[in-house]
Structure 1
Amino acid sequence: MPHFTEFNSHPPFPSDVPIAKLECISLTDLRNGNELESEALFDACKKDGFFLLDLRGDEMGEKILDDACKLFDMGKTLFDLPYEAKMEYTMGGARSVFGYKGVGLSKVDSEGTPDRCEFYGISKDDLFGLSAQLPSSDIITNSRPLLKSFLSDNYSLELLVLHHLETHLRLPSGALTSLHPLTKLSGDQVRILKYDPQPSSDRRTSLVPHTDFGSVTSLFNILGGLQVLPIGAPNTEQNWQYVRPQTGCAIINLGDSMVKWTNGLLKSAMHRVTYAPGKQAAATRWSLAYFGHAHNGALMKRMEGGVIPKLGDGVVEEALTAEDWLYVRSTSYKQEGMKEFERVVGKREEADVTPIVE
């Protein structure tokens, strides 16, 4: 099923909804050192924190697209399991962000409205034997080679993006990429997400507005539903814009780690998932994500040098490790976690809800 041929089996994305105008970057041009394409990537990361990455025509990019389609099929088999069977592998433990999350177990607002999303997260450390193998369904176990391949290739995309950002930030080679070795413990994961169609009389947000915790996220989907809030725009309903999926493209966004390291020069945009627009709303929506993180021991503080803005007068950073950063963020849906996050990194405007998920 190359190039997401399912695009042709669903109603088209409508043109009468607000659509985010995101830069579309060619992976082939980035690899070939095209300076204009590299500058466009940097500008998108400073302005939007989101861009589309066209994977077509690149050998690894084509492989990622093929693997993504296979993982969509695997996800359909996985989520067809009885609820009780899936709950045997539910997220748990003080620092676990892996495993299964059922519908309604996270909230979408301060009133406690339940979400309308289920997902399953698979750890990089588990797949690569860096940590103990987590209990999982046979469906996951039998798909480990495919999951490992997909994660490895998306990790390579992440390194390429970080390399180009290093150059434009005028940082030493490896300043960012060296924080993301595949062979060290980290929060990297592949996540498969399912959103069932919502009743026409009660359509609303499915996944809470949030920013991602880590460094670089790659997202693959066919139906609409992902929305972004433009940087600097008030969090009001009329300001949310749909991200229109494009055939052969991954949706790439930066996480809060990049904001932290660059003292706000690079952006991490608020985003959420709502029901798909137009006639697409009647279909089940599937997403596949790779979340890239720094290794657990990396320091989460402003990087010195280059074009990174200096800290304000009197500002003193408390440097968390990436492991603690992920723990604080993933538990900040609790009041005490939110207070801790605000104490360490400052309160984000309009971010009145921070979920347990990226």
Structure 2
Amino acid sequence: MAKVAKIPIIDIAADGEEAQLQVAKELVEAAVEHGFIYIKNTGRDIHTEAVEGAFNLSKKLFNAPLEEKQACSIQKNNRGWSAMHYETLDPKNQRVGDFKEAFNFGEFKDGKPQQPIPPTIEPDLDQIRAFSDLCYDMCLKINTLLGIGLEINPPSFFTTAHLRENGASGTILRLLHYPPLTSISTAESSDVRAGAHSDYGSITMLFRLKGQAGLEILTQDNKTWAPVPVCPPGTENDPSPPILVNIGDLLSYWTNGLLRSTVHRVVFPPAGTSAIEGETGTEPRYSIAYFCHPVGTSPLTAVPSERVKAFRPKDASSSLEGNPHTERKVLTADEHLFSR
């Protein structure tokens, strides 16, 4: 049986400058060592009712008539509905495309989505926008804490690059639905629901439902996959599972590889067994990901942090070409995204 991933759990509800500094340091160390972090006690920022409501809307959307979803098929701007097998995240190792469907919401403008929306969920747009806003605010908070933890002056360095008032970004709120293996006649147990990949942006926030297995991360030996519990030890009785936060490729690149962008995937759990007590793959799996990106025109200039400047990746062949610490060329956030 695979060993469960060891990911730090950080209580984000810090009051006072000293407590905030401690949280910031813990976030940075987790981002450096693991690339994944659980954050808990987020109720003042993202309350349980908001998360539950978002999952209810997700189920409502994916149960909408097929023709409604097809009319909102995903476009080049990465917004809209993607059908089963549309995406193949790990083409070198996948027999077929991912066993999932998804719906991507881009940024709202003047409270309205800038994309086609299935009629089934049109009455719920205010709720979707409100949940997206909560995620956005939390990402600003995390970016600020990372700035504090890296002793950046000013600590708002990352946060400023993400402010909506400064322009559009590639930020996406993604609803995901993964059918169980038993409901797909064409699936094999060796197939994956989402192929191995790392995320493109700065940070990702992932919301999951209790009891639904599947997520795994690639450990630092680059060979072993470790299941990621929805509720790690000590959080089983929390009102909702802790939010899983991971560093994306852009923020790893921006920090010269200091902050780790970890490869992960979603699998079909083996029938009749579970690496994590209380989690199974017998039911449909739903998750919600908030992919946070800086404003597209933001230049990824050298981070004013002595720790970032002093860091040198162990792997000299790592994909840091064009990094502001290694050559003069400075990419914008959009240029980095399009290159990926």
Aligned counterpart in structure 2 of residue 100 of structure 1, from 81, 85, 88: 81
1:227 aligns with 2:216: yes
Change (3 A) 1:30 1:293: farther
Alignment of 1:102-117 (within 5 A): 102-107=83-88, 108-110=90-92, 113-117=96-100
Alignment of 1:9-88 (within 5 A): 16-29=1-14, 33-34=18-19, 35-55=21-41, 58-62=43-47, 65-88=48-71
Mapped to 2, the partners of 1:328 and 1:131 lie a distance apart of: 29
Which 5+ residue runs of structure 2 have no aligned equivalent?
232-239, 317-324
Task: Say if 2:207 and 2:244, in contact at 8 Å, map to a contact too.
Answer: yes
Which 5+ residue runs of structure 1 have no aligned equivalent?
1-15, 330-358
Task: Say if 2:46 and 2:135, in contact at 8 Å, map to a contact too.
Answer: no
Letter of the 1:179 counterpart: A
TM-score, normalised to structure 2, is: 0.81
Q: Which moved more, 1:143-152 or 1:319-328?
A: 319-328
Letter of the 1:121 counterpart: N
Letter of the 1:226 counterpart: L
Q: Partner of 2:149 in structure 1?
A: 168
Mapped to 2, the partners of 1:226 and 1:251 lie a distance apart of: 11
Mapped to 2, the partners of 1:114 and 1:40 lie a distance apart of: 37
Task: Say if 1:30 and 1:37, in contact at 8 Å, map to a contact too.
Answer: no
Change (3 A) 1:318 1:30: farther
1:51 Cα deviation after fit = 0.7
Q: Partner of 1:129 in structure 2?
A: 110
Alignment of 1:134-145 (within 5 A): 134-145=115-126
Alignment of 1:205-216 (within 5 A): 205-216=192-203
1:328 Cα deviation after fit = 2.7
Aligned counterpart in structure 2 of residue 218 of structure 1, from 197, 205, 217: 205
Q: Percent identity?
A: 23
Q: Which moved more, 1:286-295 or 1:108-117?
A: 108-117
Aligned length: 303
Alignment of 1:145-160 (within 5 A): 145-160=126-141
Task: Say if 2:12 and 2:23, in contact at 8 Å, map to a contact too.
Answer: no
Task: Say if 1:263 and 1:310, in contact at 8 Å, map to a contact too.
Answer: no
1:242 aligns with 2:253: no
1:80 Cα deviation after fit = 1.4
1:138 Cα deviation after fit = 2.0
Change (3 A) 1:55 1:139: farther
1:168 Cα deviation after fit = 2.1
TM-score, normalised to structure 1, is: 0.78
Residue deviations 1:11-68 (CA, integer Å, cap 9, x gap) = xxxxx54211111111213777524333221110110110111135x32232xx3212
Alignment of 1:277-316 (within 5 A): 278=274, 280-309=280-309, 315-316=326-327
1:303 Cα deviation after fit = 2.3
Change (3 A) 1:206 1:41: same
Task: Say if 1:116 and 1:206, in contact at 8 Å, map to a contact too.
Answer: yes
1:259 Cα deviation after fit = 0.8
User: 4+ residue runs of structure 1 moved beyond 6 angstroms?
Assistant: 311-314
Task: Say if 2:205 and 2:243, in contact at 8 Å, map to a contact too.
Answer: yes
Mapped to 2, the partners of 1:254 and 1:226 lie a distance apart of: 16
